[in-house]
A = this chain, B = another copy of it.
Amino acid sequence: MVRVPLTISERERGERLGRALRTARAGRSIVDVATQAGISPETLRKIERGRIPTPAFFTVVAVADVLGLSLDDLLSGLGADDAADMATLGR
């Protein structure tokens, strides 16, 4: 196999990221935030629901920026976020 499928842990990490973003969105609508971030509402919805567990870097950056979130804060609220854990997440 050439590219390994995402592990369970990686998908769970994606769910945590999505939940954090959804919480930060608070009352605003998905359509509103997605449009401002320059992505499609479906994509933001999938990220928030964990159906896109490892979104592109700049996609997350754009959404966090619209929500006024610091990336460092966003990550620190995710649980296991240091590289040592990442590297051994599902391997």
Contacts and interface: CB of A to CB of B under 8 A. Distances in A.
Q: Which 8 A-B pairs have the closest CB atoms?
A: A38-B87, A65-B83, A71-B71, A54-B56, A62-B86, A57-B60, A62-B83, A66-B83
A12 to B, nearest CB: 12
Given A55-B57, A57-B60, A58-B54, A65 B82 contact: yes
Interface of A is mostly: helix
A44 to B, nearest CB: 12
Contacts of A37: 83, 86-87
A89 interface: yes
Interface string A58-72: 111111011000111
